[in-house]
């Protein structure tokens, strides 16, 4: 069995911010919290899907809310583990394994913090293969599994138990409570047995995040070598190289929503681009021409270091490289596209795989 140590945290935080497509919460804050938890409680065992037993109780631990909030309202250690402890109280049994609900930003690190404090293993898998803004946008929902009971907590000592009928109602109810809790909260939902988890999750995503983070750290400043290796690993595409010339960002309905405009640099001079986001990057365009859309992944990287820039950290004048990767095949099913495709978010066009869009561009 492998263990997650402080060195691995550095890589996972970077790689998860790439896979998080600009969302999932600030990875810097999550990284600091995870490192402190490992110093305090010890390394965390990383459990592979093959080693997960059918009868083990697996619980995702995550944060909900707008990423901009966590910059100023840093989660507490107690807040991270409170919904897990409340869930054990409700279920009348101990949790055996924790896991990330998404492989993005702080939400890849929340369960590591909980695992360290509770001396539990963490599953090398997640339920998105990226980050999405809403609670029903998970493979568990695609497979017809129920989220109840859902437990939530904040830094003030409040805790809530919900019994939503499905993932859509879980999102609607939990989002309102999160807003009342100050714009961010910690959540446990989809407590499932190992036999159910094995058939639904996307495997090896923490390992993938660590590998991507390693590419970027080992090749920092080497003329985008880390970006090139990452694109090869993920069968990805470079969309454009540009500088940010305008950014609009608003906190609406518990989400960070907005858009960023870019002007091309180097070989892209004279071209203009736009990325639209709701916590995560959803759509990339050159003028009116579509470059990539959800559920495929869009990431904005610092042009010099290759390090990912989250939606709340994008700033005027930053020089960036925008890249895109194909999503997991589960998101390309009819239900996957209905759940997290462009029309769900209000865009008036159908989903097209990024590889087809990039083939047309050439």
| Boundaries of every domain in the chain | 2-203, 221-361
Residue 325, CA atoms < 13 Å, CB-side half-sphere: 23
Is the per-residue pLDDT at 36 higher than 80?
yes
What is the per-residue pLDDT for 68? 65
Residue 77 has pLDDT above 90, yes or no: no
Class of domain 221-361: mainly beta
What pLDDT shows up at residue 48?
A: 97
Output the pLDDT for position 30: 85
Task: Tell me how far apart the alpha carbons of residues 102 and 129 are, in angstroms, rounded to a whole number.
Answer: 7
Q: What number is the average pLDDT over the span 8-18?
A: 94
Q: pLDDT category, 261, cuts 50, 70, 90? A: very high
* In the predicted structure, residue 260 carries a pLDDT above the cut 80: yes
| 289-323 pLDDT, tens digit each | 999 999 999 999 999 889 999 888 889 999 999 99
What is the pLDDT confidence band of residue 362, given thresholds at 50, 70 and 90? low
Q: What is each CA distance from 62 to 59, 96, 144, in whole angstroms?
A: 10, 17, 20
Q: What is the pLDDT of residue 253?
A: 73
Q: Which residue has the tokens 């239900």?
A: 335
Q: β-strands 280-286, 272-278: how paired?
A: antiparallel
Q: What is the mean pLDDT of residues 237-266?
A: 89
Residue 356 has a pLDDT of 95
> What is the C-alpha to C-alpha distance for residues 192 and 140, in angstroms, rounded to an integer?
10
What is the per-residue pLDDT for 71? Answer: 66
Could you tell me which residue, 62 or 279, shows the higher pLDDT?
62
Mean per-residue pLDDT, 325-338 = 97
Name the superfamily (CATH) of residues 2-203: CV3147-like domain (3.40.1610.10)
Q: What is the pLDDT of residue 275?
A: 97
């Amino acid at each position: 069995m492998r263990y997650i140590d402080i060195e691995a945290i550095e890589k996972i935080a970077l790689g998860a911010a790439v896979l998080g497509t600009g969302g999932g919460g600030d990875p810097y804050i999550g990284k600091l919290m995870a490192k402190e938890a490992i110093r305090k409680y010890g390394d965390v065992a990383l459990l592979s899907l093959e080693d997960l037993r059918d009868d083990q109780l697996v619980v995702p631990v995550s944060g909900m809310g707008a990423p901009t909030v966590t910059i100023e309202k840093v989660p507490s250690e107690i807040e991270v583990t409170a919904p897990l402890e409340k869930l054990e109280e409700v279920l009348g049994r101990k949790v055996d394994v924790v896991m990330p609900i998404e492989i993005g930003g702080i939400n890849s690190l929340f369960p590591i913090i909980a695992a360290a404090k509770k001396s539990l293993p963490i599953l090398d898998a997640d339920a998105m293969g990226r980050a999405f803004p809403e609670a029903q946008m998970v493979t568990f929902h695609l497979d017809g599994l129920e989220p109840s009971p859902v437990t939530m907590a904040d830094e003030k000592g409040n805790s809530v138990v919900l019994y939503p009928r499905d993932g859509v109602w879980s999102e609607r109810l939990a989002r309102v409570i999160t807003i009342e809790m100050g714009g961010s909260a910690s959540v446990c939902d989809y407590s499932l047995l190992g036999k159910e988890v094995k058939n639904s999750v996307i495997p090896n995503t923490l390992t993938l995040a660590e590998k991507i983070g390693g590419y970027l750290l080992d090749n920092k400043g080497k003329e985008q070598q880390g970006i090139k290796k990452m694109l090869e690993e993920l069968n990805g595409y470079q969309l454009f190289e540009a500088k940010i010339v305008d950014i609009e960002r608003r906190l609406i309905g518990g989400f960070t929503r907005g858009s960023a405009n870019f002007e091309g640099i180097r070989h892209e001079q004279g071209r203009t681009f736009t990325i639209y986001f709701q916590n995560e990057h959803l759509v990339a365009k050159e003028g009116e021409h579509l470059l990539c859309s959800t559920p495929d992944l869009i990431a904005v990287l610092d042009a010099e270091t290759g390090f990912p820039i989250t939606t709340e950290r994008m700033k005027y004048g930053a020089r960036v490289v925008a890249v895109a990767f194909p999503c997991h095949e589960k998101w390309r099913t009819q239900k996957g596209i209905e759940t997290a495709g462009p029309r769900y978010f209000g865009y008036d066009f159908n989903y097209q795989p990024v590889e087809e869009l990039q083939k047309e561009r050439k």
